[in-house]
Structure formats: C-alpha cells, structure tokens
Amino acid sequence: MDYELQKFKADFFKALSNPIRIKILEVLSNGEMGVSEIQRVIGNESSTVSQQLKVLRNKNIVVGTKSGNRVIYSLRDPLIIDLLLVARQIFNSHLIGTIQILDRSKD
C-alpha cells in the first residue's frame, strides 16, 4: 500500500481520536447544525465545540456553510456514519468476547 495513503488514514483516525469529536459526528449524523445547537445537544461549552469542529474541518471530515451570521456544519461524507457504526460493532464484539471470558472464568 502506498505510504501517502497510509499517512492519510493515520491522520484521519487521529482526527477521530477525541470523544467530543466522535460525539459531534454522531450528532451531525442526524443532520446539519450550528455550533450552538451542537453545544446544546452534547453539553460542552461552545468554545470547546468550536475547537473540535475546527479539527474536523481541517481534516475535511465536516464542512461549514455560512448562513447569515452563523455557520451550519454537516458531514462532508455520509459514509462517516457507516464508519462509526462499524466501530460500534467492533466495540460490541470485543465487549461480548470479554464478557464470555469472564463468564467462563467464574466456573
């Protein structure tokens, strides 16, 4: 595999390595929103939300569109929703495996 592609993937996943950014993406998977709306849903300060949106914007994961005096954010590519769902499935598989190991160790 080409090194540049591997680097792109690594940088992309680094952008996803923050729980607040993941939550923002999950919120935006329901549709576009402004900073104050995102902030209200996830419960973080608007400055924190703005900082994390900047990281996601710089990695072209979300896009901001000016609407009057506010910016409306959306997912650049709806496939990010699938990626987050696959990540959840992987997490669930690991969790189920761990629970099974713990159950077997009780015997």
Tell me how crowded residue 52 is: count the other CB atoms within 10 A of its CB.
Answer: 23
The sign of the dihedral angle between the CA atoms of 36, 38, 40, 46 is negative
Q: Which tokens in the block code for residue 43?
A: 């419960």
Query: CB burial class (10 A; 0-12, 13-18, 19+) of residue 78?
Result: exposed
pLDDT digits (tens, 9 = 90+) for 6-49: 999 999 999 999 999 999 999 999 999 999 999 999 998 989 99
Q: Computed from CA positions of residues 71, 33, 35, 77, in that sequence, does the dihedral angle turn out positive or negative? A: negative
User: Quick one: 36 exposed, middle or buried, by C-beta within 10 A (0-12, 13-18, 19+)?
Assistant: exposed
Structure tokens at 79: 């496939």
Q: What is the pLDDT of residue 23?
A: 96
pLDDT given at position 104? 82
Question: For residue 61, what is the DSSP state?
Answer: S
Q: Residue 103 has what pLDDT? A: 79
pLDDT at 90 over 80: yes
Q: If we measure between CA atoms, which residue out of 15, 2, 3 comes closest to residue 83?
A: 15
> Which pLDDT score is estimated for 107?
64
CATH no. for 3-76: 1.10.10.10
37-80 pLDDT per residue, tens = 999 999 989 899 999 999 999 999 999 999 899 999 999 999 99
